[in-house]
Amino acid sequence: MLVTTPFSADAAGTPAPAIHPVLLCGGSGTRLWPLSRKSYPKQFAPLLGKESLFQASVRRLTGPAFAHPVVVTTDAFRFIVAEQVSELGVAPAALLIEPEGRDTAPAILAATLQAATGDPAALVLVAPSDHVIPDAQSFQGTVAAAVPAALSGRIVTFGIAPSRPETGYGYLELAEAPAPGAAPTALPLRAFVEKPDATRARAMVEDGRHLWNAGIFLFRADVMVEAARRHAPALLAAVEASLARAKRDLGFHRLDPAAWAQAPAISVDYAVMEKADNLSVVPYEGRWSDLGDWAAVWRETHEEGTAASGAATAIDCQGTLLRSEAPGQRVVGIGLTDIVAVAMPDAVLVAHRDRAQDVKAVVATLKAEGAPQAETFPRDHRPWGWFESLAKGDRFQVKRIVVHPGAALSLQSHHHRSEHWIVVQGTARVTVGDEVRLVTENQSIYIPLGAKHRMENPGKLPMVLIEVQTGPYLGEDDIVRYEDVYARQ
């Protein structure tokens, strides 16, 4: 259970208002390829434990001090988000679906307007969903220290006390260095600093007046809306129109695509923060990482210089990260120094740790070559569960399919393939044409070419089956849907 620290009352004994968390989770995280890909990015992966980074972020912003979160994501990830928050027992205040990614400013404004529906002056805390902050209680205490400034009309950004010169982050410049060991408090912000070169990064860390820009903000909703109205009026108008025309889709709010397309693709720093004159910074002294590349993962996980995860064995290795992400796949490193080796069922990355930032360029190269591994994850997540391809050849494919309890695939047919289903765990309720029957473990059923069919899991445990497809074309676009409980097009 998450331990939380209730935010203090003011001098009159009035408790602080609830903070409305906004979680942004639409990014692709290509620097953590091959584990993070466009179809299943790093925020949803269990990189540092059993829970995903997104789930850890939700937990960190849950408790008596917080209202239910607003989550902003994309259409491709909507069911992953819903599933992962459901596993935590958290009910989001809203799940906003961006028609397309347009950087952080439109997403933050849409979530702010949504959070302000019941209270225009609601306190809003914006945070990425892929950061690592191990000490949730310490972070909540720092947020509590920022509340008075936010209530007074300041836009508060949180700066991370740097542990090293880092060229991959932007910085926040303070007017003067914080006193060592001082309690967190809001300080004036002098300037935003773009990602520096190594020489300037060292100088900024040494002067004590620079903090890493974590991209976490606390503000009153009306203050942020007014700042956007002053500094980015066209952006605000497009987002307001998109939210006003949003459509309900199951448990989601789909922002209007036509209005959304009028919003410029721009970060909130460029659109609002660098132009505003009411910004403050609260330093955070605890551990933090954006897990921006495999070197960052190594820093968070290594013991005595080497980190091994999954079925990985390191022998006489130094400064090395070894990960196996597939059951039955063994990774062994011997005599390696400063190497990253990550093995997936369909791709293996081997790189020097100093070149971890270059992995993004590798993804671009693979995409140009037409390699599906560039963006497509081997496990395909769907609202009803997931599937993965076990073997594929000329005119056949073998898949493992896992269906959640109570879930059902769409009623569908195929023009080019027939299918054989063998249940290996649980019970499937199968529809083929007009016939409906239960298929239990060790039983199978044949789906002829062109037949309308559906698979459901009527049980309380996951149902697993092996599907053998045969035919001249086996692409996922050979699906004609007739009924779908998830309202997919």
pLDDT tens figures, 171-209 = 999 988 888 778 899 999 999 999 999 999 999 999 999
pLDDT category of residue 1 using cuts at 50, 70 and 90: very low
pLDDT tens-digit map of 229-286: 999 999 999 999 999 999 998 889 999 999 999 999 999 999 999 999 999 999 999 9
Q: Which long-range contacts (CB under 8 A, 24 or more apart) does 460-463 make?
A: 460/405, 461/405, 461/425, 461/426, 462/385, 462/402, 462/403, 462/404, 462/405, 462/425, 462/426, 463/402, 463/403, 463/405, 463/423, 463/425, 463/426, 463/427, 463/428
Distance from C-alpha of 24 to C-alpha of 120, rounded to nearest angstrom = 21
By mean pLDDT, which of 20-29, 210-219, 316-325, 436-445 is the weakest?
A: 20-29
pLDDT for 27 equals 79
pLDDT tens-digit map of 423-456: 999 999 999 999 999 999 999 999 999 999 999 9
pLDDT for 4 equals 36
Q: Report whether the peptide linkage leading into residue 162 is cis, meaning its omega lies within 30 degrees of zero.
A: no
pLDDT category of residue 3 using cuts at 50, 70 and 90: very low
pLDDT for 129 equals 95
pLDDT for 266 equals 96
pLDDT for 293 equals 93
Homologous superfamily of the 19-284 domain (CATH): Spore Coat Polysaccharide Biosynthesis Protein SpsA; Chain A (3.90.550.10)
Could you say which DSSP state residue 253 is in?
Answer: E
Q: 379-483 has which CATH code?
A: 2.60.120.10
pLDDT category of residue 13 using cuts at 50, 70 and 90: low
Distance from C-alpha of 417 to C-alpha of 2, rounded to nearest angstrom = 49
User: Residue 2: is its pLDDT beyond 90?
Assistant: no
Which contiguous run of DSSP H or E holds residue 259? helix 257-260
User: Residue 7: is its pLDDT beyond 90?
Assistant: no
pLDDT for 183 equals 87
Q: Rounded mean pLDDT of 325-344?
A: 93
Largest CA distance in the chain: 75
pLDDT category of residue 487 using cuts at 50, 70 and 90: confident
Q: Which amino acid is at 421?
A: W
pLDDT for 10 equals 53
Looking at every residue in the chain, the average pLDDT score rounds to 92
pLDDT cut 70: percent of the chain above it = 97
CATH 2.60.120.10 domain span(s) along the chain:
379-483
Give this prediction's pTM.
0.89
pLDDT category of residue 304 using cuts at 50, 70 and 90: confident
pLDDT for 118 equals 86
Could you say which DSSP state residue 134 is in?
Answer: S
User: Residue 32: is its pLDDT beyond 70?
Assistant: yes
The residue written with tokens 């066209």 in the block is 234
Distance from C-alpha of 164 to C-alpha of 380, rounded to nearest angstrom = 38
Distance from C-alpha of 110 to C-alpha of 238, rounded to nearest angstrom = 10
Closest CA to 319 of 349, 356, 290, 345: 356
CATH 3.90.550.10 domain span(s) along the chain:
19-284
pLDDT for 489 equals 63
Q: Rounded mean pLDDT of 337-354?
A: 95
